[in-house]
Amino acid sequence: MKLTGKIALVTGGSRGIGRAISESLIRAGAKVAITGRDRQTLENTAGTIGAHAIEADVSKEQDVERTYKETLDTFGDLDVLINNAGVGVFKPLVEMDLASFERIVATNVTGAMLMGREAAKIFVARNAGHIVNIASTASLRGAAQGTAYMTSKFALRGMTECWRAELRKHNVRVMQINPSEVITDFAATAGFEQVDHPSKLQAEDIAHMVKAVLEMHDRGFTTELTVFATNPVD
Ligand SMILES: NC(=O)c1ccc[n+]([C@@H]2O[C@H](COP(=O)([O-])OP(=O)(O)OC[C@H]3O[C@@H](n4cnc5c(N)ncnc54)[C@H](OP(=O)(O)O)[C@@H]3O)[C@@H](O)[C@H]2O)c1
């Protein structure tokens, strides 16, 4: 797909990986709507990169429906959904409180489902569309303290496969990107310290791959793509 003039919706586009994806799509000529919950950060980013800001929480059904209404009212159509908004929490199983677990699932699974559902309605009707789910290497293997986050990303991987099976016959490409560690605010909001190092992945590296899978000719698509740092220093 040529990105010039295409319309994309990026959840969690106000910071980190979502912001980098939005910036790169805009540079490629796309029109982009971004979502996030913190209005100030969202508006600052939208103003800086030239996106349309929609303050919305992906885990709230009314917010999701309003997001699509506003995107269609603003741009008139939709070509691409980047399901990127995500949060983490890392705790041993015996310390896993229900509220933390449900918060992660609400955003990473329920939110992704609601966003995907509304995109699919549009894409099936127009017989074309592109969905990129930003999962994680956490969708591929479990680890200690990963009960909430890794479970949510395994679930997202499962949904990706289901959507692919349903939507492929409608010319909808459903793709999944699995970043390993990327330097963003994610670690701080998930409550752990991230050691920055030039050898580690940056948000721009993930944006590069998202743009690449979208730009591939529509006759084919990348089902899933995993991105590692070559030789990260912890
Ligand atoms: N960083 C990594 O190492 C890494 C590795 C693999 C995968 N990932 C995945 O990549 C995605 C982006 O993560 P990131 O590293 O860029 O994190 P980040 O810097 O913390 O950014 C997260 C973005 O999502 C938004 N967001 C969070 N909860 C939301 C909600 N309920 N509704 C709408 N927006 C919401 C945030 O804005 P507000 O807080 O204002 O809502 C922000 O724009 C996530 O799905 C994450 O799981 C990250």
- Closest ligand 1 atom to 38 CA: 40
Residue 181 alpha carbon to ligand 1 centre in Å: 13
Among 15, 2, 1, CA closest to 207 = 15
Residue whose tokens read 């919305």 = 56
* Residues 189, 202: Cα–Cα separation, whole Å: 17
- Closest ligand 1 atom to 59 CA: 31
The residue ranges of every structural domain in the chain are 7-227
Instruction: Give, for ligand 1, the residue of 9, 10, 11, 15 to mutate: max count of ligand atoms closer than 8 Å to Cβ.
Output: 15
Q: Give the tens place of pLDDT for each residue, 96-136.
A: 999 999 999 999 999 999 999 999 999 999 999 999 999 99
H/E segment holding residue 176: strand 172-179
What is the structure's pLDDT at 234? Answer: 78
Residue 231 alpha carbon to ligand 1 centre in Å: 24
Q: Domain 7-227 falls in which CATH fold?
A: Rossmann fold (3.40.50)
- Closest ligand 1 atom to 182 CA: 3
Residue 219 alpha carbon to ligand 1 centre in Å: 30
Indicate which residues carry an active-site annotation: 149
Q: Are strands 129-134 and 80-83 parallel, antiparallel or unpaired?
A: parallel
Chain CA centroid to CA 43, Å: 19
Residue whose tokens read 């997202």 = 156
Q: Are the C-beta atoms of residues 51 and 19 closer than 8 Å to each other?
A: no
Q: Give the tens place of pLDDT for each residue, 12-60.
A: 999 999 999 999 999 999 999 999 999 999 999 999 999 999 999 999 9
Q: SS3 for 132?
A: strand
Q: What's the mean pLDDT when you consider all of the chain?
A: 98
What is the structure's pLDDT at 209? Answer: 98
- pLDDT class for 168, splitting at 50, 70, 90? very high
pTM of the model: 0.98
* Residues 73, 55: Cα–Cα separation, whole Å: 15
Q: Give the tens place of pLDDT for each residue, 52-94.
A: 999 999 999 999 999 999 999 999 999 999 999 999 999 999 9
